[in-house]
Chains A and B, each alone.
Chain A
Amino acid sequence: EVQLLESGGNLIQPGGSLRLSCEASGFTFNSYAMSWVRQAPGKGLEWVSGINSDGGITYSADSVKGRFTISRDNAKNTLYLQMDSLRAEDTAVYYCTKDRWISADSSSGRDFWGQGTLVTVSS
């Protein structure tokens, strides 16, 4: 059974940093791209960042480019999202997702999602 368990969400002041983690199990982690997707309160889904299966290629939404960094440790079956220079508009539930393919630029779909972790940016 595929499981994705996010952690690291918290209340943080504007300008602060936070690192989210996603522990994966139930599939061959190093064979699939992974992504982070967020949902701000009252808003729709927004793709944040993606990383290919070996971690060598990453993509990020313009809204977080230069502030957020996605990475993975295939030995630990764990995906990360380092979030710096946080803003109020980054407040959202952050979901870890498994992609259906090895490359992060695949549009084949995100087939498994974690339950999400809440990040609140507020003073």
Chain B
Amino acid sequence: QSVLTQPPSVSAAPGQRVTVSCSGSGSNVATHFVSWYQHLPGTAPKLLIYDNDRRPSGIPDRFSASKSGTSATLGISGVQTGDEAHYYCGTWDNSLSAFLFGGGTKLTVL
């Protein structure tokens, strides 16, 4: 069981908006930046969001994120079939002195 809790799966129809939550605690999400990653099967994971809400160059603005207290949220608007992937949140944990990933959320585009 991961320290960072994500829903195992979410789904959306093409064109809809979907959100993925990431719940942590005071020793991780509340006190450190959160990043988000997209992992398509057979490929290397890709950084989608860093420093809670910033997009690397090349990441479309359909992807957004926010953080409040011990929770963070990834939003994907205008969902496309190519967005079907696993999504992971990540952050540092002071108590464990370790970087943590959430358990991952599989996005299914209906």
Q: How far is the CB of A65 from chain B (nearest CB, A)?
A: 10
Contact B104 A44 (CB under 8 A): yes
- Nearest chain B residue, comparing its CB with the CB of A111: B47
How many CB-defined contacts (below 8 Å) exist between A and B?
73
Q: Which residues A9-41 have CB closer than 8 A to chain B?
A: 35, 37
Partner of B46, one of A35, A47, A113: A113
* Number of A residues, CB within 8 Å of B: 25
Contact of A95 with B by CB under 8 A: yes
Contact B44 A50 (CB under 8 A): no
- Please list the residues of chain A having a beta carbon within 8 angstroms of any beta carbon in chain B: 35, 37, 44-47, 50, 59-62, 95, 100, 105-116
Lowest 4 A-B CB distances belong to which pairs? A109-B50, A109-B35, A107-B92, A107-B32
